[in-house]
Amino acid sequence: MPLKIRLSRAGAKKRPYYRIVIADSKSPRDGRYIERVGTYDPLLPKGSGERIKLVEDRIKHWLSHGAQPTDRVLRFLDVAGIKKRNARVNPNKGQPGKKRLEREEAKKTAAEEKAKAAAEAAAAPQPKPKPAEEPVAEEPAATPEAEAEQPTAE
């Protein structure tokens, strides 16, 4: 009978509360368990002492009998100093994805081209501005009365 030290969910909808239990690995998550050895309330602040409660002597007893903690419970046991948790190594987790790399490369080339164009524009001699031409005085627009006086060719 392989034993697990795992979380069993309790609490209302949207208000999780977990019991840390010793259970057979084949029993359902919230089903039958052998012994309750602690609680975990994720709604409390992280610094709160009431967030994680463990019965250390019973956990040590079950660990000596071969019970294996789940990943989350192993984190709690590591913080409590009961069992050491080895850090996982995933070197690719922090690496950006393909599309992000392509976007960054396109952004970099666009910035380089813009800087190159600005440098060329600064290096090119400035053309002398042409003297401004004087605006031609416009003839006054014909008024509707004047148009009515002119005979139309019919």
**Residue 106 falls inside a structural domain:** no
**Residue 75 falls inside a structural domain:** yes
Task: Report the residue count for the chain.
Answer: 154
Longest dimension (CA), the chain: 119
Q: What CATH number is given to the structural domain containing 8? A: 3.30.1320.10
Instruction: Give Cβ neighbours of residue 55 (< 8 Å, ≥ 6 apart).
Output: 37, 38
pLDDT tens per residue, range 30-86: 888 999 999 999 999 998 989 999 999 999 999 999 999 999 999 999 999 999 988
**Residue 104 falls inside a structural domain:** no
- Gap between the terminal Cα atoms of the chain: 114
**Residue 34 falls inside a structural domain:** yes
Q: Tell me what the mean pLDDT of segment 3-24 comes to.
A: 94
Report the DSSP beta bridge partners of residue 68.
4
pLDDT of residue 149: 64
Q: Domain tally for the chain?
A: 1
Determine the residue type at 149. E
Which percentage of the chain shows pLDDT scores above 90?
A: 58
In the DSSP assignment, the letter for residue 41 is -
**Residue 42 falls inside a structural domain:** yes
Which of helix, strand or coil describes residue 23? strand
**Sign (positive or negative) of CA dihedral 51, 57, 59, 63:** positive
**Residue 12 falls inside a structural domain:** yes
Q: Do 83 and 77 meet the contact criterion of CB atoms below 8 Å apart?
A: yes
| Residue 34 structural domain | 3-80
- The Cα-based distances of 34 to 10, 56, 60, 71 in angstroms read 16, 16, 15, 20
